[in-house]
């Protein structure tokens, strides 16, 4: 909605070089003229300082005089806002204390600032009041101000323009290309910025998949090397079914031989036990033979072993009978040992030792052949497992590569989208201007992307290279564009109008300042013919 501001009157007291009271009655055209230093720029600065306490370029400004004594610095501006009159005033006393007034009523600084801010945006007012202000801002501020009222191209418009194959192709006939179609699908769930975060950057999918793909390639190569190292010499491979059959046959043959040796083992164990027992009996017999003479020649005791008294009568006979008994028992034991040995020798003579060494050798040979087959089967199974792992690794590698290509495709599509969006937005903004050329983006070769930027040229020349008159021309065209975008109408102050030779086209009030040699300050107001 348009908002219309008109200046009615400005009262200045000891404002910069304007000593005493200075009154400006504004008309449709207000002309300020006079020699340098007469206060033309100060009058132009008055409304801005009244609103914001700055100069016409938005910098902090103190209009307190330095060449004469003063009791107060005062500036009051009466203006119409959509037909309703309001007055703002700002004052500095001799102590440097600031005071604020709205419609002659004292106001606190914050209250005053809020009342001014409710009128219009500061940058918009300054840019439309002072044709030079816009160009004094940092390029980011300039870009922000130009785009403030500009609606970015709609998603569907950008996607269709991405897919356009010829300038003559009608929008309704355009079929989305793969990149546009992919983004159309993805942007239903995520914003373009979120998609960039998901797939781009150091922590994005692309970076992760690149590392995964390198790891997948390395795993496939390692497995292939392991398979090559385990490959059988000569390239021959074992028949697993035949090998299993041969193992079964060997197991049966080994079991058969062991079964045939089971009786021999029992026979030989029995012989070994008999030989050991016979040897024991012979040792016992020799021991007895060695002990018998001692027993036989043992004298009969004639003294009691306890009391040492001589034995007499029956006691002597008892000692003789005891020796006889012991000799008889000894002979019985000797005869029993000899008898047992003879029986054992008879039984041993009936048995013959069976030699199984050849069969054991054959069993060892068969077991070695069996182990060789088992090892070959294990190697074959390992090679088969490696082959399966290689197949899976290749599948994983291919899947990772597919995902990586998908992520790269999405990022490239985002770049294409943003490039086309930048192109459309730049064209849209550029269409607002006649002689000015605006650049909103720059292409960065290192990233292959368009980044925000801002620069202005007029007729192919940078703003800093323009003459004073050309800068005014550029500023007036910019004011027109800002008006079309914001609907705001404010007076325009053109300082140095003598350097400008073009038409002055503004939407309402214009204030001009012209330097005239030797002339004192003159303020002239005119009503335009409508």
pLDDT digits (tens, 9 = 90+) for 315-359: 778 878 888 898 999 889 889 999 988 999 898 898 888 788 888
pLDDT at 529: 59
In-domain check, residue 509: yes
pLDDT at 232: 72
For 235, phi then psi, to 5°, come to: 80, 0
In-domain check, residue 247: no
For 333, phi then psi, to 5°, come to: -65, -40
In-domain check, residue 419: no
Instruction: Give Cα separations from 453 to 192, 437, 438, 447 (angstroms).
Output: 20, 13, 10, 15
> Is the distance from CB of 22 to CB of 507 less than 8 angstroms?
no
> Is the distance from CB of 14 to CB of 70 less than 8 angstroms?
yes
Q: Map residue 522 onto helix, strand or coil.
A: strand
Distance, in Å, from the CA atom of 426 to the CA atom of 150, rounded to the nearest integer, reads 10
Packing angle of the helix pair 205-230, 192-199 (nearest 10 deg): 30
pLDDT at 235: 58
In-domain check, residue 195: no
Regarding whether 364 and 499 lie in a shared domain, the answer is: no
Q: Which domain covers residue 345, as residue numbers?
A: 258-369
Closest among 94, 95, 104, 33 to 68, alpha carbons compared: 94
Evaluate the CA torsion angle 10, 14, 18, 21 in order and state its sign.
positive
For 437, phi then psi, to 5°, come to: -110, 125
pLDDT at 136: 92
What domain count does the chain have? 2
Q: Kindly tell me the number of DSSP H helices and DSSP E strands found in the chain.
A: 13, 14
Distance, in Å, from the CA atom of 198 to the CA atom of 414, rounded to the nearest integer, reads 12
In-domain check, residue 288: yes
pLDDT at 323: 85
Which residues of the chain carry a pLDDT beneath 50?
A: none
In-domain check, residue 321: yes
pLDDT at 306: 59
Distance, in Å, from the CA atom of 463 to the CA atom of 320, rounded to the nearest integer, reads 156
In-domain check, residue 484: yes
> Is the distance from CB of 73 to CB of 15 less than 8 angstroms?
yes
For 288, phi then psi, to 5°, come to: -65, -45
Packing angle of the helix pair 468-486, 122-129 (nearest 10 deg): 140
Domain boundary among the residues 369, 400, 415 is at 369
Regarding whether 358 and 472 lie in a shared domain, the answer is: no
For residue 126, the domain's CATH number is 3.40.50.300
Alpha carbon 143 to its chain centroid, in Å, reads 31
In-domain check, residue 101: yes
pLDDT at 1: 52
The pTM score is 0.65
Domain boundary among the residues 369, 391, 418 is at 369
Distance, in Å, from the CA atom of 416 to the CA atom of 403, rounded to the nearest integer, reads 20
Closest among 526, 525, 473, 463 to 499, alpha carbons compared: 473
Burial class of residue 16 in the structure, from the number of CB atoms within 10 Å of its CB (0-12 exposed, 13-18 middle, 19+ buried): buried
pLDDT at 159: 92
Domain boundary among the residues 338, 369, 400 is at 369
What does the pLDDT look like over 224-268, one tens digit per residue?
988 888 877 655 677 888 889 999 999 999 898 888 787 787 888
Closest among 123, 124, 105 to 115, alpha carbons compared: 105
Regarding whether 134 and 14 lie in a shared domain, the answer is: yes
């Amino acid at each position: 909605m348009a908002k219309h501001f008109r200046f009615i009157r400005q009262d200045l007291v000891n404002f910069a070089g304007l000593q005493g009271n200075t009154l400006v009655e504004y008309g449709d055209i207000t002309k300020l003229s006079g020699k340098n230093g007469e206060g033309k720029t100060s009058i132009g600065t008055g409304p801005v300082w009244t609103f914001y306490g700055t100069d016409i370029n938005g910098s902090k400004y103190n209009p307190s005089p330095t060449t004469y004594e003063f009791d107060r610095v005062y500036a009051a501006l009466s203006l119409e806002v959509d037909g309703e009159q309001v007055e703002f005033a700002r004052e500095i006393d001799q102590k440097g204390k600031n005071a604020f007034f709205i419609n002659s009523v004292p106001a606190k600084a914050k209250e005053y600032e809020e009342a001014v801010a409710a009128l219009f945006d500061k940058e918009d007012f300054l840019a439309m009041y002072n044709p030079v202000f816009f160009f004094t801002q940092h390029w980011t501020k300039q870009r922000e101000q130009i785009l403030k009222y500009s609606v970015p191209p709609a998603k569907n418009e950008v996607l269709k323009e991405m897919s356009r194959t010829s300038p003559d192709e009608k929008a309704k006939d355009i079929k989305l290309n793969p990149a546009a179609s992919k983004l159309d699908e993805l942007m239903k769930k995520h914003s373009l910025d979120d998609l960039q975060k998901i797939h781009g950057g150091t922590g994005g999918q692309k970076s992760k998949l690149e590392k995964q793909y390198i790891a997948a390639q390395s795993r496939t190569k390692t497995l292939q090397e392991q398979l090559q190292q385990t490959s059988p010499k000569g390239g021959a491979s074992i028949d697993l079914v035949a090998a299993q059959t041969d193992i079964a046959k060997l197991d049966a043959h080994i079991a058969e031989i062991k079964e045939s040796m089971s009786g021999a083992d029992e026979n030989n164990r029995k012989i070994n036990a008999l030989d050991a027992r016979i040897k024991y009996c012979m040792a016992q017999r020799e021991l007895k033979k060695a002990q018998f003479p001692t027993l036989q020649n043992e004298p009969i005791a004639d003294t009691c072993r306890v009391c040492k008294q001589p034995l007499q009568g029956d006691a002597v006979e008892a000692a003789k009978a005891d020796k006889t008994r012991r000799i008889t028992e000894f002979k019985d034991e000797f005869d029993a040992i000899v008898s047992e040995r003879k029986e054992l020798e008879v039984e041993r003579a009936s048995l013959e030792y069976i030699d199984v060494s050849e069969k054991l050798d054959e069993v060892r040979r068969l077991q070695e052949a069996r182990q060789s087959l088992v090892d070959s089967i294990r190697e074959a199974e390992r090679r088969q497992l490696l082959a399966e792992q290689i197949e899976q690794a290749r599948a994983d590698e291919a899947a990772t590569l597919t995902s990586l290509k998908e992520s790269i495709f999405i990022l490239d599509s985002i770049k294409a989208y943003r490039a086309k969006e930048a192109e459309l937005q730049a064209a849209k903004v550029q269409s607002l201007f006649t002689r000015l050329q605006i650049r909103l983006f720059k292409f960065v070769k290192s990233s292959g992307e368009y980044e925000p930027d801002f620069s202005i040229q007029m007729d192919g020349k940078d703003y800093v290279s323009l003459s004073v008159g050309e800068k005014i021309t550029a500023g007036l065209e910019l004011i027109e564009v800002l008006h079309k975008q914001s609907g705001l109408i404010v007076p325009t102050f053109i300082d140095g109008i003598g350097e400008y030779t073009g038409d002055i086209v503004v939407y309402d009030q214009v204030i001009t300042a012209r330097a005239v040699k030797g002339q004192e300050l003159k303020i002239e107001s005119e009503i335009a013919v409508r």
